[in-house]
Every structure is written in structure tokens, then in C-alpha cells.
Structure 1
Amino acid sequence: MYGFTVALSHTPFDEAVAKVIDALRGEGFGVLSDIDMQRTMKDKLDINTRPYRILGACHPRLAHRALQAEPDIGLLLPCNVVVREGGPERVIVGFLNPQTMVGLTSAKEIQAIADDAEQRLRRAGARLCA
């Protein structure tokens, strides 16, 4: 699987997004981009969809190490985190598993960086469920 998820119950969508950003920050990640897919689908296609945001999360030290090891790794950055409404009073948070990068590069140093990033993202997910 290319990612892992956690589910939040009884949490309004906007509150869930704020909690995700805070949990990421607690693990050293910043959010470089915030794509509102619901708004984009409405604006571009006039289609109504459930709330769906894609957050581009970046841990600067890990990103720097990865770019030093493999300059083209930027094609796989940042780590995407999806926050989507999964049903009434249910928000699903999906994290890209950084291990997906490992199989796409031959740089040996990427494994340790992906391990560190994965541990941090999993802890961020665990914070959401605490």
C-alpha cells in the first residue's frame, strides 16, 4: 500500500484539518501547499463533492538530506496528506508512506530518510487518535 490512514469521529472537517496541521507541526513538518479539491471541482467542473484537502507536508531537514542524496527526489516531494470527509461525522486522514520513494530510487541513503519520515508521520497520525 502506498499510504496509511486514521479516522476521526465526531470532529468537524475544518477542525480536523487544523488538528492534522498541528500534529504534523509537532513532528517537525510544515505545510507547503493546501489544495482544496472540493473548491477546485466546483470552480472548474461545477461538481459538488465532499470536503477534500491535500496538504503538502515537508520536514525541511529530511527534505534537504533527500535532495543531497538524490537531486531528482523532488519529483516525489512533499509528502502528501489527504484530509477528506468520509461520511457523516467522520473524517479520514491519509498519509503517503515515504517508503514508496525507496523503490523508485537507487540512492541507498533514501531508506534511512524514508524510515525517519514514516515514523514521524505515523506519530502524527497517532496524535490525532489520542
Structure 2
Amino acid sequence: MRYYFSKNLDMPFAAAIEHVTKKLAGKGFGILTRIDIQHTMKVKLGVDFKPYMILGACNPHFAWRALQELISEL
């Protein structure tokens, strides 16, 4: 089961994060969480890892509709 979207972009990592964040905002999504895997691996394990960021995106309108459906089924 795939529960994420993945895309390779031909741009520097920081620019890609900014680009994706702006594109998501244009579709009504905001970033609720940013998990910096590279930083976490360095701090927690003392190891170097490639730049890797998990963006938790949410569209409040879609989330509200989904939650209303869930609540109505309880």
C-alpha cells in the first residue's frame, strides 16, 4: 500500500522544499509538520544521512469533510 507521493526534482534540496510547499499552498494545503530526517539521524545517532524531509501536508477543507464522515459512522 502506498500512502505517500514522491517526485524527483532537478533543483537544490532547499529550493525543492520551497517549491513543493508553494505548490501545495496553491492547492489549499498547508504544511503541518516537517520531519528533518538528516538532522534527526545526526542528533540521535551521530550519523550523516542525505538531505531528507518528510512534509505532513493537510487541506483543512478535505480534512473537515473526512472527519465529518468518520464521526457520522460512529
Q: Confirm or deny a common fold (TM above 0.5).
A: yes
From the two aligned structures, give the one with the greater strand fraction. Answer: 1
In 2: Cα distance, 1:66 partner to 1:39 partner: 33
Q: Which runs of 4+ in 1 moved over 6 A?
A: none
Unaligned runs of 5+ in 2: none
Number of paired residues?
A: 71
The 1-side partners of 2:64 and 2:34 are apart by 21
1:12 counterpart residue number: 12
Q: Percent identity?
A: 48
- State the Cα RMSD in Å: 1.4
Unaligned runs of 5+ in 1: 72-106, 108-130
- Normalising by structure 2, report the TM-score: 0.88
Deviations 1:41-90 (A, max 9, x none): 0000001000000111000000001111114xxxxxxxxxxxxxxxxxxx
**TM-score (norm: length of structure 1):** 0.51
- Counterpart CA distance in 2 for 1:31 and 1:42 is 23
Amino acid at match of 1:44: K
